[in-house]
Amino acid sequence: MDSRRGTERCDVVVVGAGVAGLACARDLGARGLRVRVLEASDGVGGRMRTDRVEGCVVDRGFQVLNTAYPQLRGRLPLRELRLRLRPFIPGFLVHTGSRRLRFADPTRAPGQSLRGLAGGVAGPRDLAALAALTGWDMLAPAALVRRARDTSTRRALSGAGFSDGFVERFFRPFLSGVFLEDGLATSSRFFHLVWRSMARGTICLPAAGVAAVPELLASALPPGTLALESSVTALTDDGVVVDGGREVAARAVVVASSPAAAARLLPGLTVPPYRTVTTYYHLAPRSPLREPTLLTDVRRRFANSCVLTEVHPGHAPRGYALVATSVLGEDAGGRQQAVLDALAECYDADTGGWESLTVRTVSEALPAMEPGLPLSRRTRRGAGRYVCGDHRATGSVQGALASGARAAREVAADLSGA
C-alpha cells in the first residue's frame, strides 16, 4: 500500500476469478510476480459455480469435466478428495421417437456399436466412418487437427462419409448439448478437438459440483491475493479503479471477466456471440434410469438429460433422484411443462410427481465457435493491457485455462523486458 496516495500496488491486477483468471494468477505468481485478483461477485468460478438447494448439489447449468483436457490434467490432481470424480458411461442414449438406443464409441465398445447395426440405426458405412473418425481424432497429433481445413461440422461429417440419417439420429442430438446449437454450424476444427478429447478421456462429475475446480485453483493462491465483491469499474494509466473509488496500481492489468464486462473495460474489444442454455432441475421419487449416462432426443425437445444421482448419489437427499435437463435458449412460459412431457416419453416414466427444484439460465454459456475463428488468440491489447477467457480460445474449460496460461506468458515476457 502506498501510504502517500492510499493506493494499493502490485505487479499485475487480474480482473475476474473465473478459471481463466485464476490460471493466469497462479502462473504469474509462480514466476515471482505480485498479483491481485479482483472478483465482482461473492465467489470464484465465473460460470463454474455450484449452489446448495434444499440439500441438492446444483451447478449453475449442467456441466461436466473431461479428464483428457491437458490444462485440467496439468493443474489439478484429478484424484484429489475435493474433486472425487465419478464417471459417466462412455457413449449416450438417444430417444428416436419410439425407443431408446445406445450409441457407444466403437474403439471402446465395438459390441454395442454392432448392436446399433443390428437394430437398423446405423449402416456398415456409418459404423466404418465413425471408427475412422474416432481413431483419427484420437491418434493424430493435436497440432495436425488444429491445422486442418476449417468448415462447418455438418459439412465435415458429410465429407467423412456419414449418411444424413445417421447425422440426424446420432450427431445432431448429441452435439446440440455440447455446442449449444443444433444447426451443426460449429467449426469443424473445434469439433475434431472436442471429439478427440472425448475419445481420449472420460466425462465426469465432481462430488461437490463443478465449483470444486475453481475453488481448488483459488486455494493455491497466496493469502491475500483474492478479493471478492470488488467490482472494477475502469482501467487507468496506472492500474484499475474499484467500485467505491479505491485504486489499485499495477504494471499490467489482465481482464478475465465475462465477455460483456471485458468489452466495457476494453473499448474496441470484439467478442463472439454467445450461446444461451437453460437447465431444469427436478426431484423425482425414484430414478427414471438406473445408469450414469446422458439421454438425448432426436426431436430435440431438449439438448440432454441426466440423472445426476446415478453419477453421484450425494447430489440429492437419500430417497430422491435429481434429474438435470438442458434446453437451448432462455426459459419461457410453458416450457418446463413441455420438457416434463418430453421426459415422460423419453424416460418412459411418470413425471407427474416430479418436483421442480430450480431453473438455471446461463446467458453467456459458450462462445459461438464459427468456422474460421482462431482457436487461440493473443491476449495483449496494448501497453499493459491483456484479456483472456474462453472467448479468446475455445469454448471449454480447456480453452479458458489455456487462454489464462497464454496471458500469463505474455504478461511475464513483457514485464521482464520492461
> For residues 175 and 122, which has the higher predicted lDDT (pLDDT)?
175
Residue 103 covered by a domain: yes
Range with top average pLDDT, 140-144, 202-206, 277-281, 378-382: 277-281
Residue 78 covered by a domain: no
Residue 82 covered by a domain: no
* Lowest pLDDT segment from 125-139, 303-317, 345-359: 125-139
Q: Is 293 helix (H, G, I), strand (E, B) or coil?
A: coil
Residue 390 covered by a domain: yes
Residue 83 covered by a domain: no
> Do 247 and 381 have their domain in common?
yes
Q: Which of 170, 201, 232 marks a domain boundary?
A: 201
Residue 33 covered by a domain: yes
pLDDT band at 244 (very low <50, low <70, confident <90, very high): confident
- DSSP E strands: which ranges in 33-187? 35-38, 50-53, 56-59, 65-66, 86-87, 92-95, 100-103
> Do 264 and 409 have their domain in common?
yes
Residue 404 covered by a domain: yes
Residue type, 77: P
Q: CA 51 to CA 56: how far, in whole Å?
A: 8
> Do 283 and 353 have their domain in common?
yes
The count of C-alpha atoms lying within 13 angstroms of the C-alpha of 301, restricted to the half-sphere facing its C-beta, is 20
Residue 226 C-alpha cell reads as 483474492
> Do 280 and 349 have their domain in common?
yes
Over 90: is that where the pLDDT of 367 sits?
Answer: yes
Q: How many folded domains does the chain comprise?
A: 3
Q: Which of 173, 201, 229 marks a domain boundary?
A: 201
Alpha helices in 140-266 (DSSP H): 142-146, 153-159, 164-166, 172-179, 188-200, 212-219, 259-265
Q: pTM to 2 decimals?
A: 0.93
> Do 163 and 307 have their domain in common?
no
The count of C-alpha atoms lying within 13 angstroms of the C-alpha of 178, restricted to the half-sphere facing its C-beta, is 27
CATH at residue 54: 3.90.660.20
Task: Kindly state the average pLDDT of the residues 66-82.
Answer: 85
> Do 163 and 152 have their domain in common?
yes
pLDDT band at 102 (very low <50, low <70, confident <90, very high): confident
CATH at residue 19: 3.50.50.60
List 382's β-bridge partners, or say none: 385
Task: Kindly state the average pLDDT of the residues 408-414.
Answer: 98
> Do 300 and 391 have their domain in common?
no
Q: CA 366 to CA 351: how far, in whole Å?
A: 30
Degrees, nearest 5: CA angle 138-402-105: 20
Give the sign of the dihedral formed by CA 118, CA 121, CA 123, CA 128: negative
Place of cell 425437445: 301
pLDDT tens-digit series, residues 270-312? 999 999 999 999 999 999 999 999 999 999 999 999 999 999 9
Range of the domain at 392: 8-46+211-272+377-416
> Do 106 and 247 have their domain in common?
no
> Do 151 and 191 have their domain in common?
yes
Please report which helix (H) or strand (E) contains residue 30, including its range.
helix 19-30
Place of cell 488468440: 377
> Do 121 and 193 have their domain in common?
yes
> Do 162 and 25 have their domain in common?
no
Q: CA 390 to CA 343: how far, in whole Å?
A: 32
pLDDT tens-digit series, residues 371-387? 998 899 899 999 999 99
> Do 142 and 217 have their domain in common?
no
Residue 255 covered by a domain: yes
pLDDT tens-digit series, residues 179-198? 999 999 999 999 999 999 99
